Amino acid sequence: MGVVGLNYWGPNLVRNFADLADLTWICDLDEQHLASISARHPTARATTSFEDLLGDDALDAIVIATPVPTHYALAKQALEAGKHVFVEKPPAMRAAEMDELVSIAAERDLVLMPGHLLLYHPGVLKVKELIDSGDLGNVLCVYGNRVNLGIVRTNENALWSLGVHDLSVILYFLDEDPVLATAQGSASIHPGVEDVVFCFLRFPSGKIAHMHLSWLDPHKMRKMTVVGDKQMVVFDDMEPERKVTVYEKRAGAAGDLHSGDISIPKIETTEPLRRECTYFLELIDGEHDKDKVARDGARVVRALEMLTNSLDG
């Protein structure tokens, strides 16, 4: 394995892949970032040149944790060099570019896995299990709140930085492509970079979804709610223990609705990032459906593009 991009997020991937696989390369354009990770992983070869990884025939897979605008070009070069690719979310900024990556991976029988971390979160997996089991009944709507008072990025708006997480989960829960995806936002801190974004999506089945994304909010929320016609479920990632809560819905005599039993299913405590990295290695070993993982990633980029066009328009 080789990991490229070693500043904030990359070291977490390095830590996991060094434990789970044979980490032979680390790469960053910045000598200081490279030196600090190299000190912790002296057996991995350190380089500022991505080409060194591409040219190593013994290297099976490349993990990309560089800024989003660089993902498509780096992932494309890695796939063309015959490497399996794990690329942080989103792997491309345009649907056409993502489709191109998906076809190169399929043609060469390579893994292309986008880093949608929440899809490996035991709480999200539990909610999906409840949806698929029919326990919630017919799902009517899903909404996400990902808000806090935080670092306002200058190169990525709240939709791209925060929304990609909720979008990947909404599409995973509903397993449909939206027919309508609109977004409205405001940029009050850095001109042109929306720090507050509201999104609305409608799906062919009639289900609807909403996302509230913000770095300008008094609450710190990492919450997804799924409303079914029998039960409702909340995934709250700020809760240390009660990550998932299921609310039974009861109809009163006068046609009113009120909540019935409330339950808290037991959720495994495995670190989502460890599960995500393990999944990538299992895909390389031929387990699971690698084409589905790449196609699901393309679905996220398509919806993101629809939302971005609406926000820009």
Q: At closest approach, how far in Å is the CB of 77 from ligand NAD? A: 10
Q: How far is the CB of 31 from ligand NAD (least distance, A)?
A: 9
The CB-of-70 to ligand NAD minimum distance in angstroms stands at: 5
CB of 153 to ligand NAD, least distance (A): 9
Closest distance to ligand NAD from the beta carbon of 115 (Å): 5
Nearer to ligand NAD, 5 or 228 (CB): 5
For ligand NAD, give the closer residue by CB, 33 or 207: 33
Closer residue to ligand NAD, CB minimum distance, 152 or 232: 152
Question: With contact defined as beta carbons under 8 Å apart, do 163 and 307 qualify?
Answer: yes
Q: In the bound complex, what is the minimum distance in angstroms from residue 151's beta carbon to ligand NAD? A: 10
Q: Shortest approach of ligand NAD to residue 11 CB, angstroms?
A: 8
Nearest to 241 by CA among 271, 264, 223: 264
Per-residue H/E/C for 197-262: EEEEEECCCCCEEEEEEECEEEEEEEEEEEEECCEEEEEECCCCCCCEEEEEEEECCCCCEEEEEE
Helix or strand run (H / E) with residue 128: helix 122-133
Neighbours of 206 (CB within 10 A): 10
Q: How many residues does the chain have?
A: 313
Nearer to ligand NAD, 35 or 96 (CB): 35
DSSP string, 46-88: EES-HHHHHT-TT--EEEE-S-HHHHHHHHHHHHHTT-EEEEE
User: Distance between CA 239 and CA 223 in Å, rounded?
Assistant: 10
| CB closer to ligand NAD out of 6 and 199 | 6
Closer of 111 and 130 to ligand NAD (Cβ): 111
Least Å distance, CB 74 to ligand NAD, is 6
Kindly state the smallest distance separating residue 160's Cβ from ligand NAD, in Å.
8
- Which residues lie near ligand NAD (CB under 6 A)? 4-10, 27-30, 33, 50, 65-68, 70, 88-89, 115, 117
Q: Which is nearer to ligand NAD, 6 or 113 (CB)?
A: 6
In the sheet with 112-115, reading across from the earlier edge strand, the strands are 45-47, 25-27, 2-4, 61-64, 84-88, 112-115
Hey, which residues does 4 pair with through a beta bridge? 27, 64
123, with CB counted inside 10 A (0-12, 13-18, 19+), is buried
* 156: three-class secondary structure by DSSP: coil
From the list 216, 260, 252, 220, the residue with the least C-alpha distance to 236 is 220
Nearer to ligand NAD, 207 or 222 (CB): 222
Q: Which is nearer to ligand NAD, 68 or 152 (CB)?
A: 68
Comparing CA positions, the residue from 9, 6, 12 lying closest to residue 26 is 6
- Strand, helix or coil at 184? strand
